[in-house]
Amino acid sequence: MSMICAFGDSVMKGIIEDCSRATDTIKYKISNFSFVELCRERMGLDILIFAKFGGTINQGINLVEKNREKVSGSTYCVIEYGGNDCSYRWDEVSRNPGSVHNPLTMLEDFRRQYATLIDKIRLKGARPLLLSLPMIDSERYFSHISKGLNADNILTWLGGDVNYIGRWHEMYNMAVWGLGVSKQVPVIDITSTFLKRRDYRDYLCSDGIHPNEEGHRLIADAICDSVLEKSNNYFAI
Give the 3-state secondary structure of residue 13: helix
Pairing of strands 127-131, 46-51: unpaired
**Confidence (pLDDT) at 52:** 95
Element (H, E) at 134: none
Low-confidence residues in the chain, pLDDT < 50: 232, 234-237
**Confidence (pLDDT) at 19:** 82
**Confidence (pLDDT) at 226:** 86
**Confidence (pLDDT) at 233:** 53
Inter-CA distances, 178 with 110, 135, 213, Å:
12, 18, 29
Region of 54 please: left (phi>0), alpha (psi -120 to 50) or beta. Answer: left
**Confidence (pLDDT) at 230:** 61
Kindly report the pTM of this predicted structure: 0.94
Amino acid identity at 226: S
How far is the first Cα of the chain from the last one, in angstroms, to the nearest whole number? 19
Q: What domains appear along the chain, each with residue ranges and CATH number?
A: 3-233 (3.40.50.1110)
How far apart CA 86 and CA 106 sit, in angstroms, is: 7
**Confidence (pLDDT) at 25:** 80
| Phi and psi torsions of 104, nearest 5° | -60, -35
From the DSSP assignment, how many helices (H) and strands (E) are in the chain? 11, 7
